[in-house]
DNA sequence: TTGTAGGCGTTATCAC
DNA sequence: GTGATAACGCCTACAA
């Protein structure tokens, strides 16, 4: 079939061929060269470029002989659309912008790994911007918008206020913020319900018979931290657990911080063990803002001769690969990365006119550090 | 100055204006709308679109009155080029493709964080592909090539053989492989000199007075692992250290693996301490293929009551943030990420005609785990 | 349903 | 050095 179509035809084929680079008197396409254009496919399939365009972009109902001929021709010429030309004409770039604070940020990395395969099946591509400060993130937003991305997903850097910048573009393209505080009813937002995580954590501990608990909180200059800190106290009260003002402190998300906090927390109360009210002198459980902190805490407890989960139960956050490798394995809060990505893509597909705010609950993965 | 140019001019300005969307009898550009086109700028600056293009793309020597007028007009209209149109005409997309096995791979993440800011200053953008297998990486290569990226950087997945796929495109665009084995003289390659790292590590240990050493090697289905294993033995011999066939094993890059290997390695030899030839029964130092492995080893040694660096010295690989937070801090091999990125961008700028193979030495960062 | 033709915004080429 | 003009490859009214 395809061989017969090489015969020159007086109608569409010849005209199209005349419009190509053939004016330079060379065959426009060498057998497997990289760039065949739509006119070559049209000529080979003996149809017009319009038909080729319609068939290949799926804007044509039937799957008749013509459609098959076009696809065969495209395949034979190893044709793929020129995205630049396509974008120029149709204002759709098949490109999604993603802005993250850093690739070494665990949540961002997980999002990347989940997001990329999904965009690929849509034959879309990810345009990446990295910025850890408000200023850099704003720069990247402008850069990606200037590239005419079809949608923008932003993992807000801690403390960044992007609402003003985003609102300027929210009418043009769909924007989805992941995390972050300020809400705008022009942009979409998908966030993790950390309050729910806190509720799950405290409940899990209460149900396991713990009487007192401490919270090694995160200090990242954001209001969420403070809100979560309050939520901790609310939940502790509601489950009738004990806590102490001095136990609960803000700090970094590092192993070292977990170690030092824990040493301070338990070191003083060691020689009083055996007392009836021991649970009021030192916590029977730790809730940590990050797995690394929990890890440091476990090392410290080990050094102090306290057993996990026997003497102290521990809950981390992030469900990093680390959590599986500790001894015992670490109970941790797993962020709903898959759902976040799915919702973000759905909102982008829905377009800029339908912003929504979605909050997704994480999952508490119970492991050895809170019981056997 | 800019105000005077609003006067209609019979020459260029009027013609250009006629060519724009003004045929619809509306002002084409509202004051701060997103999309002003080159014709608007030309009209406002009272020059031709060709001149605007030349000025803004820097293909014009002088910085005279015309140039300033053009820039002022572009600024006033908030103009930025349409990348699609530019790419269509000039075949330059100002886009670099990056393919990595996973964003959670530490080296890839570090590369991303270093690379993105550098591409941005060139007003280029990163198009990201993720693929952990040979097949997926090949898919992503084809996708990005189809997008007409100006260059391609690939962090080869362990065990992937991309030479055949890459050679097909190596004439069209510059390709830089980071790591990986198979070399092609058509594509560029930037790799880490892990043999040098091994040499540094063994020498560092020898100089600190260690008499025997074990190697917890990486098993990732690649030939590099085997080569490095051989290099370890060569170096051990050349520095007259002792090692034992049973000590050195391939395995995963996890905390758990480091823990178990170390328990096995030292557990049996514990009760023999005090013997003269103790250093032949258990190693006085560990070289680990990864910081996580080293970390597991440290936990195990702690559990066994052996001191670091007193009884055993430890060297990790990767210089992850973790390395700073262990107690004592971990001596580790730092991959030359900055140099890798710089070389990769340089090779891409040089074009497809000048492939090169570059090997960069890492840096041994000495910390507490190998001495005080 | 199919083909024709015009134009998307930019840059390369050519005259001047 | 500048301006007019012709592509770049594709999509999509519109006409057939």
B159-211: pLDDT as tens digits: 888 999 999 999 989 999 998 777 788 999 999 999 999 999 999 999 999 99
As a whole number, mean pLDDT of residues B22-31 equals 38
- CA B192/CA B169 separation, integer angstroms: 24
Alpha carbons A210 and A214: distance in angstroms, whole number = 11
Q: Are both B253 and B109 inside the same structural domain?
A: no
Nearest-CA residue of chain A relative to B100?
A: A113
Q: From residue B62, how far is each of B58, B59, B67, B91 by CA, in Å?
A: 10, 10, 8, 26
Q: How far apart are CA B168 and CA A210, in angstroms?
A: 63
CA distance A66 to A50: 12
Alpha carbon of B109: minimum distance to chain A alpha carbons (Å):
5
| Residue B16 beta carbon within 7 A of nucleic strand D | yes
Interchain contact, B110 vs A103, CB within 8 Å: yes
Contacts of A254 in chain B (CB under 8 A): 321, 325
Q: Is residue A140 part of a domain?
A: yes
The Cα angle at residue B66 between residues B62 and B68, in degrees rounded to 5: 85
pLDDT band at B14 (very low <50, low <70, confident <90, very high): very low
Least confident of A34-43, B79-88, B270-279: B270-279
What's the pLDDT at A324?
84
- Residue B340 in this model has a pLDDT that exceeds 90: yes
Question: Does B108 score more than 60 pLDDT?
Answer: yes
Distance CA B238, CA B236 (A): 6
| Contact in structure between A209 and A239 (CB atoms under 8 Å) | no
Q: Nearest 5°: phi and psi at B254?
A: -135, 160
Mean pLDDT along residues A279-303: 92
Shared domain for B140 and B7, answered yes or no, is: yes
B136 and B173 within one domain: yes
Question: Phi and psi for B85 in degrees, rounded to 5?
Answer: -65, -45
Beta bridge partners of residue A99, listed in sequence order: A129, A154
Q: Does some domain include residue A18?
A: no
Residue B365 backbone phi and psi in degrees, to 5: -95, 105
Q: Indicate if the pLDDT at residue B61 is higher than 90.
A: no
Domain assignment of residue B225, given as a range: 194-334+365-370
| Same-domain status, A164 and A248 | no
* First vs last C-alpha separation in chain A: 69
As a dihedral over the C-alpha atoms of residue B275, residue B278, residue B281, residue B286, rounded to 10 degrees, the angle is 160
Considering the domain boundaries, does residue B327 fall inside one?
A: yes
Rounded Cα distance, B237 and B217, in Å: 17
Same domain, A308 and A348: no
Would B17 be classed as within a structural domain? Answer: no
Of the residues A40, A62, A87, the one at which a domain ends: A87
Distance from first CA to last CA of chain B, Å, rounded?
Answer: 68
DSSP H helical ranges for chain B: 12-19, 38-45, 49-56, 65-76, 83-90, 106-121, 134-146, 163-169, 194-207, 223-238, 255-267, 278-281, 291-304, 322-325, 337-350
pLDDT score of B151: 96
Q: How far is CA B320 from CA A104, B72, B214, B326, in A?
A: 10, 47, 21, 11
- In this structure, the strands spanning B331-334 and B363-365 are antiparallel
Residue B127, in any domain of the structure: yes
Whether residue A21 lies inside any domain: the answer is no
The helix (H) or strand (E) run that includes residue A358 is: strand A357-360
Last residue of a domain, one of A87, A110, A126: A87
Per the structure, the count of domains in chain A is 3
Query: What letter does residue B99 receive in the DSSP assignment?
Result: E
Domain shared by B161 and B236, yes or no: no
Domain presence at residue B18 = no
Quick one: A111 and A178 in the same domain?
A: yes
Q: What percent of chain A has pLDDT over 70?
A: 89
Nearest-CA neighbor of A95 among B143, B53, B203? Answer: B143
Q: Are residues A202 and A304 in the same domain?
A: yes
**A189, A204: one domain:** no
User: Does one domain contain both B327 and B229?
Assistant: yes
**Both A175 and A208 in a single domain?**
no
Closest to B34 (Cα-Cα) out of B86, B82, B94: B82
**What is the per-residue DSSP string for A153-192?**
EEEPPTT---HHHHHTTTTTS-EEEES-S---SSSEEEEE
Task: State chain A's mean pLDDT as an integer.
Answer: 86
Q: Is the pTM of this model over 0.75?
A: yes
A232-246, A351-365, B106-120, B263-277: least confidently modelled range? B263-277
Residues 6 or more apart whose CB falls under 8 angstroms from that of B65 comprise: none
Q: Looking at the structure, do residues B71 and B38 belong to the same domain, yes or no? A: yes
Q: Rounded to whole angstroms, what are the CA distances from B279 to B37, B235, B243, B246, B304?
A: 75, 18, 9, 14, 17
B139 contact residues in A (CB cutoff 8 A) = 120
Which residue's CA is nearest to the C1' of nucleotide C7? Answer: A89
- Strand C, nucleotides < 7 Å from a protein CB: these are 1-13
Residue of A nearest to B132 (CA): A113
**Which residues 33-52 in chain B have a CB closer than 7 A to strand D?**
47-51
CA distance A115 to A126: 9
B45: domain CATH number is 1.10.260
**Cα angle, residue B368 at apex, residues B362 and B369 outer, rounded to 5°:** 75
CATH number at residue A244: 3.40.50.2300
Residue B22 inside a domain? The answer is: no
A256 vs B117, B144, B325: nearest CB: B325
A14-18, A89-93, A311-315: range with lowest mean pLDDT: A14-18
CA of B32 to C1' of D3 (A): 28
Helices (H), chain A: 12-19, 38-45, 49-56, 65-76, 83-90, 106-121, 134-146, 163-167, 194-207, 223-238, 255-267, 278-281, 291-304, 322-325, 337-350
């Amino acid at each position: 079939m395809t061989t017969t179509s090489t015969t020159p035809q007086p109608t569409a084929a010849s005209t199209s061929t005349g419009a190509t680079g053939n004016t330079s008197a060379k065959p426009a396409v060498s057998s497997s060269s990289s760039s065949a254009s739509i006119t070559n496919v049209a000529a080979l399939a003996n149809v017009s470029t319009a038909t080729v365009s319609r068939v290949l972009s799926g804007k044509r109902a039937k799957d008749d002989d013509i459609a098959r001929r076009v696809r065969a021709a495209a395949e034979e010429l190893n044709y793929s659309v020129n995205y630049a030309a396509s974008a120029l004409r149709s204002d759709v770039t098949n490109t999604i912008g993603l802005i993250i604070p850093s690739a070494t940020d665990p949540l961002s990395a997980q999002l990347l790994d989940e997001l990329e395969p999904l965009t690929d099946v849509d034959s879309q591509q990810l345009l990446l911007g990295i910025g850890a400060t408000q200023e850099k993130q704003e720069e990247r937003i402008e850069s990606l918008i200037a590239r005419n991305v079809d949608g923008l997903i932003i993992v807000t850097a801690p403390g960044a206020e992007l609402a003003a910048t985003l609102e300027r573009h929210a009418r043009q393209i769909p924007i989805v913020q992941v995390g972050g505080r300020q809400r705008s009813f022009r942009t979409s937002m998908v966030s993790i319900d950390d309050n729910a995580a806190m509720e799950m954590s405290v409940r899990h501990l209460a149900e396991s018979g713990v009487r007192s608990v401490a919270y090694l909180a995160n200090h990242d200059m954001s209001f969420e931290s403070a809100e979560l800190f309050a939520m901790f106290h609310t939940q502790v009260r509601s489950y009738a657990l004990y806590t102490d003002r001095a136990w609960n402190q803000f700090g970094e998300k590092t192993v070292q911080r977990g170690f030092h906090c824990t040493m301070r927390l338990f070191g003083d109360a060691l020689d009083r063990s055996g007392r009836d009210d021991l649970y009021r002198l030192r916590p029977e459980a730790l809730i940590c803002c990050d797995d690394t902190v929990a890890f440091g805490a476990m090392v410290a407890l080990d050094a102090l001769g306290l057993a996990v989960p026997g003497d102290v139960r521990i809950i981390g956050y992030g469900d990093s690969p680390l959590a599986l490798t500790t001894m015992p394995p670490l109970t941790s809060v797993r962020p709903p990365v898959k759902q976040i990505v799915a919702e973000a893509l759905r909102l982008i597909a829905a377009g800029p006119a339908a912003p929504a705010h979605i909050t997704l609950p994480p999952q508490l993965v119970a492991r050895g550090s809170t019981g056997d």
